[in-house]
Structure 1
Amino acid sequence: MSSTAHAVGFSFVERLAQDLRDERLELPAFPEAVVRIQRVLQSPDTRTDDVVRILSSEPALAARLLRMANSAEFRRVDQNVTDLRTAVTRMGFNMVRSVAVAFAMRQLRRKDTYSPAAQRELEQAWEESLAASAACFVIAKRFTRLNPDQALLTGLLHVLGRLYIIMRSKDAAELSDGEMRQVIEGWHASIGKAILESWGLPEELQHAVEHQDELDGGQEGDVSLTDVLIAAKLLARGETDGAKFAALRRVGVAEKDGLLPMEQYAEELRGVRASLGE
C-alpha cells in the first residue's frame, strides 16, 4: 500500500469508528419508501394500515411483496392474494422488512456512482445475501424449530455492514480491491450489528450478524439463529464437512456418507431466491 493509500485507508477506518461511536449509521442510498418502512416497523404500535400506506407509495415494492405472497414457498392459503393489506397481514412484518431490504439492495446494484471495486463488492454482497437468506429459511423450516421468516431476515441482513462500508467508500476511492476487502472484513460485522440495534431488531438477530464470521466456533445451548446463519454461509461456500464445522452438525445439515441433507430442498432454495428478486 502506498503512503497515500495508507493514509486514505487509515482515515476511512477512523471515520467508520467515529460513526460507530456517534451511532451515526444511516443507509442514505436506500429508497425513501424502504427507509420509511424501516422506521415505522421500529414502533411496537405500528398497524398494518401504516405499512400498507407506505407500500402504496412505491408500486414496484408493492408488486414485489404481492409476488412473494403468491409464491409457492410463501403462500399461506390456496387463494391468490390481490391486495396489499391481505399480503402484509399474511406475510407478517418480518417478511415485509425482508422484501423491502431486498428491493433496496437491488436498487443499489443499478447505481453507477460507485467505483468498480465498490460495484464488485455490491454484486458479491447481493449474491451472498440471496444465498444466505434462502438457506437460512430452508434450514430453519426443515431442520430446526426456529422461525423461518426471522431466519430469512437474518440471512438477508447479514451483509448490512458491508453495504454501509461500500456506501461510505466513495470517500476512499484510492483504496484497491484488496485494501477495501480488508476494511470490510475487519468492520462489517460490528457495523452490521450496530445498524440492527439502531433498528430495534431482536438481540438474537443482532448476535447472529455480529458473530457470523466465527465459522469454526461452537455455540452452547439450543440451536440459534447464529448457528443457522453460519451454516448457511458455509453451505454457500461449498463447505459440508460436519467434522470441521460445528454449526453444520448442530443444525443437522452436515454431509454424511457422501450425501448432503439440503440437496432434497434444492427447488425450494431456488424458489426462495426467486421470490426475493433474483
Structure 2
Amino acid sequence: MPGFFSWVSSLFSKTPPIQPPAPDTRLLNPAPSGAPDTTGPESDLGGQLEDHLFAWLLDAEPARLQRVADDYRRELAELERRLNMNEMEELPRKPGSLPMLMRALSNETTERKELTSIILSDPSLTDQLLQVANSLYFRPGDQVIESVDQAVFILGVDGIRNVIAAAVMRPMMAARNSREALFAQRSWRWGLTCARAAEMIAKIHRDDTSAHFMVGLLPALSYITIRRELGRICRTHGSGHEPEPALLKVALVRYQWATCQLLANIWNLPPKYHAWLLSAERPAPRQAHSALTDGLLLGTREVLRHARQRNLSEDDLRRIVHLPPEQLNKVRSALLNLLKEGKPSQMRA
C-alpha cells in the first residue's frame, strides 16, 4: 500500500547522508519549465515571496530583517555545530508506538479495531491525533470526532496517515513566550497549507499523495525546530535573550534544507524523500517542477494572501506554479476554503 508509511519495509535500510548546508539557499526555487538555469525572473519572484513569508512568520518589518550574518557569528556557529554533530536538543519526539502503527497501516488486511487499539496504546499520540483530526484541515463537515475509532472510520486509512503525520508537529506548538507561540502558530498554518497543496498537486500528477503531504510538512517543522534550538542557544550561549528576527531569518535561510534532511533521517523516511528535498533545494537545469516545489509556492502565496500580507499577483503566480489554469484554480479554491473556514484555534489544533 503506497503512501507516507510505505517506508516500513525498508525501515532498517541505510538513508542518504545529510547534505552540508549551502549558505543562503532559498526555500522557494521556482524555475521556468525547460529553462537552462534558475536565475531568471521566476527565481526573483520566489525570493520576493520568501521575503514576504519571513516578514509574516517573524512578525517583523522587512527593514528589521536586513542585518548581516556576521553580526551573529557566535550563535550561528553553535547552531551549525549542533546540526553537523547531530546534537540538536529540540528535535520532535517520535511516538514509541509508531513502528507498530506503521506496520498496521501498511498491511491491507489490518482491521479498524486493531488500528484503534494501537493508537490508544499511546495516550500522547491519541490526544494529538484527536485534536488534529478535529481541525478543519481534516474533519469532514461539522461532525466532531470524539473517539479514535470514529476518526479511523470517518477519515479512512489515507486520512489517518495524514493526521498522524500532522500530529508529529503538534508537540512543537508548546511555546515559552508569546513571540515563540506566534511563530509556531503561523508556521503550523503555513505548513499544513503547503502540505495540502503538495498532496493535491501530487494527485494531479498521479504520484504518492500521502508521501507528498508528509514531505510538504517538513519545511515548517524545520522552521519550528530551528527557532526553538536558536532560542535555547541564545539563552545559554549568547545574549540571554530571545533571538532577534534578523538572526532567525539568517538561520532559517541557511539551515532550512539541512534540517529538513535531518528530520527525514531521524524519521527513517525512505530515499525518495531525501531526493525530493534535494531536488527542491537545488533544482537541476531543465528540471520539471515537482509537486513539492509547486506545493510550497502555492501554499505560501495563499497563506500570505489570506493573512493580508504582501504576496504575488495573479499573473506572477501563474508564472511560477506550473499547473494548467483549470487545475491551478481548483487547488487554490480548496486551499482558500480551508483558510477561510478555519478559525485560528482550529488551524492550530
Q: Same fold (TM over 0.5)?
A: yes
Matched, 1:248 2:306: no
Say whether the 8 Å CA contact 2:192–2:217 is kept in structure 1: yes
1:92 to 1:124, Cα distance in 2 relative to 1, 3 A: closer
d(CA) in 1 for partners of 2:326, 2:154: 35
Q: What residue in structure 1 maps to residue 292 of structure 2?
A: 225
Matched, 1:64 2:131: yes
Q: CA deviation at 1:16?
A: 2.0
Q: What residue in structure 1 maps to residue 232 of structure 2?
A: 170
1:265 to 1:117, Cα distance in 2 relative to 1, 3 A: closer
Matched, 1:122 2:184: yes
Paired residue type of 1:61:
Q
Return the TM-score normalized by structure 2. Answer: 0.55
Q: What residue in structure 2 maps to residue 159 of structure 1?
A: 220
Say whether the 8 Å CA contact 1:189–1:211 is kept in structure 2: no
Paired residue type of 2:321:
L
d(CA) in 2 for partners of 1:51, 1:127: 28
Q: CA deviation at 1:248?
A: 0.9
- The correspondence of residues 1-278 of structure 1 with structure 2, limited to 5 A, is 9-27=72-90, 30=92, 35-37=94-96, 40-41=98-99, 45=103, 48=115, 51-64=118-131, 67=134, 71-72=139-140, 82-83=149-150, 90-91=157-158, 94-105=161-172, 107-108=173-174, 111=175, 113-114=176-177, 118-141=180-203, 143-168=204-229, 169-172=231-234, 174=239, 175-210=243-278, 212=280, 220=287, 223-237=290-304, 238-239=311-312, 248-249=321-322, 251-252=323-324, 260-266=329-335, 269-270=338-339, 277=348
**Alignment gaps of 5+ in structure 2:** 1-63, 106-114, 305-310
d(CA) in 1 for partners of 2:152, 2:317: 46
Q: Which has the higher contact order (CA 8 A, sep 6+)?
A: 2
Q: CA deviation at 1:99?
A: 3.2
d(CA) in 1 for partners of 2:270, 2:334: 28
Say whether the 8 Å CA contact 1:81–1:87 is kept in structure 2: no
Paired residue type of 2:86:
E
Say whether the 8 Å CA contact 1:64–1:99 is kept in structure 2: no
Say whether the 8 Å CA contact 1:98–1:153 is kept in structure 2: yes
1:210 to 1:150, Cα distance in 2 relative to 1, 3 A: same
Residue 75 of structure 2: SS of its match in structure 1? helix
1:163 to 1:264, Cα distance in 2 relative to 1, 3 A: closer
Say whether the 8 Å CA contact 2:78–2:233 is kept in structure 1: no
Q: Deviations over 1:54-80 (max 9, x none)?
A: 44455532423654798338x9xxxx9
Paired residue type of 2:225:
Y
1:43 to 1:130, Cα distance in 2 relative to 1, 3 A: closer
Say whether the 8 Å CA contact 1:130–1:273 is kept in structure 2: no
1:126 to 1:43, Cα distance in 2 relative to 1, 3 A: closer
1:95 to 1:273, Cα distance in 2 relative to 1, 3 A: farther
Q: CA deviation at 1:226?
A: 3.8
Residue 200 of structure 1: SS of its match in structure 2? coil
1:246 to 1:24, Cα distance in 2 relative to 1, 3 A: farther
Residue 140 of structure 2: SS of its match in structure 1? coil
Q: Deviations over 1:177-196 (max 9, x none)?
A: 11221122111221122221
Identical-residue share of aligned pairs (%): 12
Return the TM-score normalized by structure 1. Answer: 0.66
**Alignment gaps of 5+ in structure 1:** none
Paired residue type of 1:181:
K
